[in-house]
Amino acid sequence: MTEQSLKGRVVKGLFWKLLEQAGYQGIQFLVALLLARLLTKEEYGTVSLIMIFITIANTFVQSGFATALVQRRELLPEDYSSVFWLSLPLSLFCYLLLFLSAPWISSFYGLPVLAPLVRVMGLVLFPGAVISIQTAFVSRNLQFDLLFRATMTAVLGSGAVSIGMAYRGLGVWAMAAQQLLYYFILMTALFRTLPWRPGLCFRRGRVLSLFSFGWKILVSGLLDTLWQNVYGLLIGKRYSSAELGVYTRGEQFPKLLTTNLTAAIQSVLLPAYAKLQGDAAALRSAARRSVRLSAFLVFPMMAGMFATARPMVRLLLTDRWSAAVPYLCLMCVSYAILPIHSINLQLLNAMGHSELFLRLELLKKLLGILILLLSLPYGIFPMLLLKVLDEYLCLLLNAFPNRRLLGYGPLRQLMDMLPALLCSVLMGGITGSLLLLSLPAAGTLLLQIPVGALSYLLLSLLFNREPLCYIYKLLHNTGERVSGREAERWKN
DSSP structure string for 172-187: HHHHHHHHHHHHHHHH
Task: Kindly state the DSSP code that residue 195 receives in the 8-state scheme.
Answer: S
Burial of 487 (0-12, 13-18, 19+ CB in 10 A): exposed
Query: What is the reported pLDDT for 196?
Result: 86
Query: Who has greater pLDDT, 174 or 216?
Result: 174
Q: pLDDT tens for residues 331-390?
A: 999 999 988 988 888 787 667 676 787 788 788 888 988 998 888 888 888 989 999 999
pLDDT value at 270 more than 90: no
Q: What amino acid is encoded at 231 in this protein?
A: Y
| 69 close to 136: Cβ distance less than 8 angstroms | yes
DSSP H/E element including 411: helix 410-433
| 226 close to 218: Cβ distance less than 8 angstroms | no
Query: What is the reported pLDDT for 302?
Result: 95
Q: What is the separation of C-alpha 420 from the centre of its chain, rounded to a whole number of angstroms?
A: 23
pLDDT value at 9 more than 70: no
Q: What is the mean pLDDT of residues 188-200?
A: 89
* Rounded (10°) CA dihedral 336, 284, 457, 427: 30
Query: What is the reported pLDDT for 5?
Result: 53
Q: How far apart are the first and last CA of the chain?
A: 27
Task: Kindly state the DSSP code that residue 112 receives in the 8-state scheme.
Answer: T
Q: CA separation (Å) from 50 to 37, 61, 96, 102, 385?
A: 20, 17, 15, 10, 25
Q: Which segment of 6-20, 262-276, 278-292, 409-423 scores lowest on mean pLDDT?
A: 262-276
pLDDT value at 182 more than 80: yes
Q: Which of 219, 187, 175, 156 is nearest to 50 (CA)?
A: 175
Query: What is the reported pLDDT for 164?
Result: 92
Query: Who has greater pLDDT, 132 or 60?
Result: 132
491 — pLDDT class (breaks 50, 70, 90):
very low
Q: pLDDT tens for residues 406-448?
A: 889 999 999 999 999 999 999 999 999 999 998 899 999 999 9
Burial of 405 (0-12, 13-18, 19+ CB in 10 A): middle
Q: What is the mean pLDDT of residues 227-245?
A: 80
| 61 close to 55: Cβ distance less than 8 angstroms | no
pLDDT above 70 coverage of the chain, percent? 85
Query: Who has greater pLDDT, 486 or 98?
Result: 98
What is the chain's alpha carbon radius of gyration, rounded to the nearest angstrom? 24
Query: What is the reported pLDDT for 444?
Result: 93
Q: CA separation (Å) from 239 to 231, 295, 471?
A: 11, 35, 46
Ramachandran assignment for 261, one of left (phi > 0), alpha (psi -120 to 50 degrees), beta (any other):
alpha
Q: Which segment of 73-82, 127-136, 304-313, 411-420 scores lowest on mean pLDDT?
A: 73-82
| 191 close to 147: Cβ distance less than 8 angstroms | no
| 294 close to 286: Cβ distance less than 8 angstroms | no
Sign of CA dihedral 425, 385, 29, 38: negative
Task: Say how far apart CA 28 and CA 1 lie, in whole Å.
Answer: 37
Task: List the alpha helices (DSSP H) in 110-203.
Answer: 114-121, 125-141, 144-167, 172-193
Q: SS3 helix, strand, coil % of the chain, rounded to 5?
A: 90, 0, 10
Query: What is the reported pLDDT for 346?
Result: 75
Q: What amino acid is encoded at 405 in this protein?
A: L
Sign of CA dihedral 153, 155, 161, 167: negative
3 — pLDDT class (breaks 50, 70, 90):
very low
pLDDT value at 221 more than 80: no
250 Cβ neighbours under 8 A, 6+ residues apart = 324, 325, 326, 327, 328, 330, 331
